[in-house]
Amino acid sequence: MRVVITGGAGFIGSHLCDRFLADGHEVICVDNFITGRRENIEHLTAHPRFQLIEHNISHPLHLDGPVDAVLHFASPASPGDYLRHPIPTLKVGSLGTHNTLGLAKAKGARYLLASTSEVYGDPEVHPQREEYWGHVNPIGVRGVYDEAKRFAEALTMAYHRYHGLNTHIVRIFNTYGPRMRLDDGRALPNFMAQALRGDPLTVYGDGSQTRSFCYIDDLVEGIVRLLHLDYAGPVNLGNPNEVSILDFAKEIIELTGSQSPIVFAPLPEDDPRVRRPDISLARKLLNWEPRTDRREGLARTLAYFRRCLAQQTGRAANQRAPEGVVP
């Protein structure tokens, strides 16, 4: 297949690029680096089946030649990122989805939209099943992300129903792993960076809110299986193993062996109280469930963040060293 992956230089997108190349496909990565990083894909730039197109997908993209699949992953995803970039987030979820659907339609390609558990908002139903319509504040600060993704789902279903496009919607729950940005503001990178630096871990609110964390390799496997199936409705992919944020912070302190204390900070506006996927549908349709235990996934992610911090420290030392002196 010739596969277009928007947001391919981001955390999830770069792992998808790796996977499709490893499966023997050709990958066209489209990214404008608003939240992604060149480091995530630099190991691929010389690959004969990899191409990078630097482009803002909120503007139309015309490609020569055939395309077999379009995976639309471009969007700021961390709350800190989408609060910093509210209008680009709304645009990439709406205009970007329109442009990628148009590309898939022009090429007769299958289409997969990266949606999110945020379409359920601050859920009144727990765990969340695909049938649940959600509880979203459209004018709240998180609305820029949640409503963009809800619109993206509506547009994808319209292309499916009206144009007969072979579409897929994956509702991704909190996913983690190597290549997250250390400073993206999400709980996991924040806690790991704070623990490794010996700084206090910042738990927002009283830490009783819950999340369910899925390791990246498990998510990628679910996405690949879904893309090959003819099923247009939304499918939850995530790990049902739920944990309170306070316990999660303690787990990371223990794992790192850090002496960092925990400090409490105000809960952000509209922060969902609970989140856990019901993955019965993914189990049935895809014969899929997460395989990576949280301790194992966290250990792999920690090893990555340790390397990132060591590189940062090395760079800082290089900058301080007098000319000709190798620190």
Choose the contact partner of 33 out of ligand UDP, ligand NAD, none; CB within 5 to 8 A by kind: ligand NAD
Q: Are 270 and 122 in contact (CB under 8 A)?
A: yes
- The 10 Å Cβ neighbour count of residue 183 is 12
Interface with ligand NAD, residue 12, by CB under 6 A: yes
Partner that binds at residue 202, options ligand NAD, ligand UDP, none, CB closer than 5 to 8 Å by kind:
ligand UDP
Footprint (CB under 6 A) of ligand NAD, residues 54-83: 56-58, 73-77, 81
Would you tell me which residues interact with ligand UDP (CB under 6 A)? 78-79, 174, 186-187, 190, 202-204, 209, 211, 245, 268, 271
Helices vs. strands in the chain: H and E counts, helices first = 9, 13
Tell me, what DSSP letter sits at residue 258?
Answer: -
Kindly write out the interface string for residues 154-173 of this chain, putting x where it contacts ligand NAD by CB under 6 A and - elsewhere.
Answer: ------------------x-
CB of 257 to ligand NAD, least distance (A): 26
**Residue 172's binding partner out of ligand UDP, ligand NAD, none, with CB under 5 to 8 Å set by partner kind:** ligand NAD
Annotated catalytic residue 145? yes
> Cis (ω within 30 of 0) for the bond into 127?
yes
Pairing of strands 26-31, 2-6: parallel
| Catalytically annotated residue among 145, 159, 176, 215 | 145
Backbone angles phi, psi at 214, to 5 degrees: -110, 135
- Residue whose CB is less far from ligand NAD, 109 or 237: 237
203 binds, among ligand UDP, ligand NAD, none (CB under 5 to 8 A by kind): ligand UDP
CB 288, CB 221: distance < 8 Å: yes
Q: Which of positions 84-103 make contact with ligand NAD (CB under 6 A)?
A: 88, 92, 96
**Residue with smaller CB distance to ligand UDP, 20 or 215:** 215
The answer to whether 133 and 191 are in contact (CB under 8 A) is no
Nearer to ligand NAD, 296 or 318 (CB): 296
SS3 4: strand
Partners of residue 7 on adjacent β-strands = none
280 SS3 class: helix
